[in-house]
Amino acid sequence: MAPSQKIAIIGVGLLGGSAALALRNKKKVRLVGWNHRASSRKKAAKLLRVAGRLEEAVEGADLVLLCSHSNSIASFLQRTAPLLSPSALVMDVSSVKGEVVREAAEVPGANRFFVPCHPMAGKEKSGPAHADAGLYRGRVVFITPLPQTPKALVQRAFRFWRSLGAVPLVVDAKVHDRQVALTSHLPHLLACALVDLYGAREKETPKLRRSVGSGFRDFTRIAGGNPDMWGDIVELNRNEIRLVLSRYRRILRILEKNLREGRGAFWKGFFQRARNVREKLG
């Protein structure tokens, strides 16, 4: 009979809480959670057993899922490395990977226990109250290993994500950051910028609210994301975001020019092309 496995979830918010829900009915899993703030530990306790101290959660864990922001990963690894069992696997779930890989690689021996991950899963609502056992089902999870990570360790990360129904994929951290700059970080900035403009105009024209339809709601939904998390993401991936924002602004400049000059043929082609690309995304 296989021995039971201790899984520690550090940071029980939406992502950590959803993992807890997906794992808590599995056989031979001892689940323990921890949150930095006492108030958050209280909320987490509705989903899983919560340790009183971080050390208690991490000690002897076979698997640690670290659900905190990208800029806190390296210091966590440094602090907890001495407590980990020799066979422990630590994974994070943060959104920017280049900096995480660079900083973690400076923690001695981290490549023997730490595998950086980024699940493409989320909701506009954060916090454990919105946790969902099916959050990872069918979602891509990017895995961006440190240099010279043992294959077996990466394979364990793979198996973990598959057990939650996710689709793990190994990718270079820089490639990852460039891609999510376009597909996740830029859209977030664009939605926030529109909401910003809307907010300014609504002050002048309170009735503006009546003109908000479902399209505007869908388009701006992502602007409801956690401001602290997004501050960190932008800080850590600002070079890639800046490049793609600059390309995007060039497109808008062309659109403004065509609005000024009123070219029917340009617009029908532009909208047709966009619809074609969009339809393929489903």
Chain residues 235-254 in contact with its own copies, contact rule CB under 8 A: 235, 238, 241-242, 244-249, 251-253
List C-alpha distances in Å: 113 to 100, 145, 163, 166, 216. 14, 10, 19, 21, 44
* Contact positions with its own copies (CB under 8 A) in 120-159: 120-122, 124, 139-140, 142
Q: How far apart are the first and last CA of the chain?
A: 45
- Taking residues 71 to 90 in sequence order and writing x for each that binds its own copies by CB under 8 A, - otherwise, the string is --------------------
| Residue 36 touches its own copies, criterion: CB under 8 A | no
H or E element that contains 65: strand 63-66
Specify the 3-state DSSP secondary structure of 164: coil
* Contact positions with its own copies (CB under 8 A) in 208-237: 208-228, 230-231, 234-235
* Contact positions with its own copies (CB under 8 A) in 167-206: 169, 171, 176, 179-180, 182-184, 186-199, 201-202, 205
Nearest CB to its own copies, comparing residues 148 and 246: 246
Nearest CB to its own copies, comparing residues 127 and 187: 187
Least Å distance, CB 134 to its own copies, is 13
Specify the 3-state DSSP secondary structure of 61: coil
| Integer Cα distance of 32 and 102 in angstroms | 29
* Contact positions with its own copies (CB under 8 A) in 48-67: none
| Residue 267 touches its own copies, criterion: CB under 8 A | yes
H or E element that contains 159: helix 151-163
Nearest to 22 by CA among 47, 42, 45: 47
Q: Is 24 exposed, middle or buried (0-12, 13-18, 19+ CB in 10 A)?
A: middle
Give the CA diameter of the chain.
Answer: 75
| Residue 162 touches its own copies, criterion: CB under 8 A | no
Using the contact rule CB under 8 A, the part of the chain among 3-11, 17-25, 97-105, 119-127 near its own copies is 119-127
Least Å distance, CB 92 to its own copies, is 17
* Binds its own copies by CB under 8 A, chosen from 42, 49, 162, 275: 275
